[in-house]
Amino acid sequence: MVLVLSEEQELLRDSARDFAGNAIEVDWLRKVREQGAAGFDRDVWRQMAELGWTAIPFAEEVGGLGLGYAEAGVVLEELGKALAVTPYLSSVVLGGGAVDLGGSAEQKAEILPGVCDGTTLLTLAYQETARHDPYAIETSAVKTDGQWVLNGRKQLVLDGGSADRIVVAARSSGAPGDRSGLTLFLVDAGAAGLDVKPGLLLDSRSAAHVALNDVTVGEDAVIGEVDGGAEILDRVFERAAVALSAEMLGGIQEAFDRTVEYLKEREQFGAKIGSFQGLKHRAARWFCEVELTRSIVMQALRAIDDGAENLAEIVSTCKARASDAFRLSGQEGIQMHGGMGVTDEADIGFFLKRARVSELLLGDSAFHRNQFAELKGY
């Protein structure tokens, strides 16, 4: 594994940087919020699909580019810098990832081409508890007369309001907390008994509360093995935690860069505030966190592509580091911007907001420290 961008990856980064710099403005977050309608910019999404980014991690047979997470991460980092609101994580990584990893050849052929060209939006409904707890699933799946009947409630279903199809993780046997007994089902957004309530999160992104009341699907809606859903979920969560970390890295870097620029401009006591050692040293420590995060994100992206033996350890290390570093970046960014930092007029606050949501998605650092210790056998 080489922790350096290839020439192709550098080209991809430059193109993503150009695009994100021109097509996406942080100010868009204010507009979405004012409209009160949660969502994303369809135009931006269409252009991203035209550039091929939605197809990056999928095989060529299903319309993908046959590239890896190292490439997806390059794009996600640039999107993260712009705090771009897109359904990449929900549709490509979570929903698309579940179908890609667990789906039958027929399911993949039917669904993934649309995900690759951006016309089909998927998402994954997994979370039922306040904090990330992958197997704490109560939503029931009962088989009656060759049909599966789903009942339960989900929260934090990312972009649930705009998804065409939702992959639902439900319990077909066992008790909440059991790793076994989970099954994944593909449910159409318009299915009878499916109640999707989109909400606006504090970072101006959309996530839905989803209720399933006797939602009935056929056997062909099952993704992977009955009771074997955790095998797929574990891997989807690994990919998603790292993809999200790559996006977070962009936010971390951007909050840092903007703040360092501010330290060079803002004057108090007749001097640039960046000349004060109290701020210099904090900026230097923050710099270390940015660099460490960049390294582990690069390693984790490549570990997914290489199928590294200790992938799970790397993933937990990566998401824990990104979570802590992004929180620090949001907090220090605001603090060093002083009074302006806490106003809505300044953009820096949006980084703190995104930091908090992405920190808690897919496990915060406490969750991943615990995972890491478990994996290491202590």
Q: By CB under 8 A, name the binding residues for other proteins.
A: 2-4, 260, 263-264, 271-272, 274-275, 277, 279-281, 283-285, 287-288, 291-296, 298-299, 313-314, 316-317, 320-321, 366, 369-370, 372-374, 376, 378
Nearest approach, Cβ of residue 156 and other proteins (Å): 25
Instruction: Give the residue from 130, 51, 119, 59 showing the smallest Cα distance to 91.
Output: 119
Nearest approach, Cβ of residue 295 and other proteins (Å): 4
CB closer to other proteins, 147 vs 370: 370
Residue 303 makes CB contacts below 8 A (sequence gap 6+) with 1, 242, 310, 311, 314, 315
Q: Determine the Cα angle at 19 with ends 327 and 205, to 5°.
A: 40
CB closer to other proteins, 135 vs 367: 367
Token representation of residue 82: 């712009």
Nearest approach, Cβ of residue 248 and other proteins (Å): 14
CB closer to other proteins, 190 vs 278: 278
Nearest approach, Cβ of residue 245 and other proteins (Å): 12
CB closer to other proteins, 70 vs 141: 70
Nearest approach, Cβ of residue 231 and other proteins (Å): 24
Q: Determine the Cα–Cα distance for residues 133 and 236; give it in Å rounded to an integer.
A: 14
Instruction: Give the residue from 217, 211, 238, 214 showing the smallest Cα distance to 317.
Output: 238
Beta strands in 120-237 (DSSP E): 122-125, 140-144, 147-158, 165-171, 182-188, 194-200, 206-218, 222-223
Which stretches within the chain are classed as H helix? 7-23, 28-35, 42-50, 69-81, 96-102, 105-116, 229-265, 277-306, 311-336, 338-341, 348-360, 365-375
Q: Do 164 and 170 touch, CB atoms closer than 8 A?
A: no
CB closer to other proteins, 179 vs 285: 285
Nearest approach, Cβ of residue 43 and other proteins (Å): 36
Token representation of residue 145: 């007369």
CB closer to other proteins, 90 vs 323: 323
CB closer to other proteins, 2 vs 105: 2
Nearest approach, Cβ of residue 316 and other proteins (Å): 7
Name the DSSP letter for residue 228: B
